[in-house]
């Protein structure tokens, strides 16, 4: 009785492709999780800084004149005024 040979040459590339696909998915999940955590951290830090800035502006603009208060709220105007004074 003859033993039937399996043709490994046709199944090997398929197995390699399946393995590569699984590895790619694993890497994608790890990278996504890593960057999602980093993005969440940065958003939280940005929100905290924004709250501090708003408190600072509220506290310090109470003693400013209306014109100075407007300049604090519009940084581009402040830069424009400084640029004009140097000319």
Q: Give, for 31, the enclosing helix (H) or strand (E).
A: helix 8-61
| pLDDT tens per residue, range 19-61 | 999 999 999 999 999 899 899 999 999 999 999 888 877 777 6
Judge whether 35 lies within some domain. Answer: yes
Our count of domains for the chain comes to 1
Judge whether 63 lies within some domain. Answer: no
Judge whether 29 lies within some domain. Answer: yes
Q: Report d(CA 20, CA 31) in Å as an integer.
A: 16
For residue 39, the enclosing domain spans: 23-56
Residue 36 has a pLDDT of 92
Other Cβ atoms within 10 Å of 71 Cβ, number = 19
Q: 3-state DSSP call for residue 7?
A: coil
Judge whether 42 lies within some domain. Answer: yes
Judge whether 39 lies within some domain. Answer: yes
Q: Is the pTM of this model over 0.75?
A: no
| pLDDT tens per residue, range 25-35 | 999 999 999 89
Where on the phi/psi map is residue 4: left (φ > 0), alpha (ψ -120 to 50), or beta?
A: beta
Please report the sign of the dihedral spanned by the C-alpha atoms of residue 61, residue 67, residue 70, residue 76. Answer: negative
């Amino acid at each position: 009785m003859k033993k039937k040979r399996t043709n490994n040459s046709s199944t090997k590339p398929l197995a390699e492709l399946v393995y590569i696909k699984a590895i790619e998915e694993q890497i994608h999940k790890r990278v996504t999780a890593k960057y999602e955590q980093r993005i969440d951290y940065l958003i939280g830090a940005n929100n905290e800084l924004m709250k501090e800035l708003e408190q600072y502006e509220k506290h310090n603009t109470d003693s400013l004149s209306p014109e100075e208060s407007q300049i604090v709220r519009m940084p581009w105007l402040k830069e424009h005024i400084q640029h004009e004074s140097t000319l």
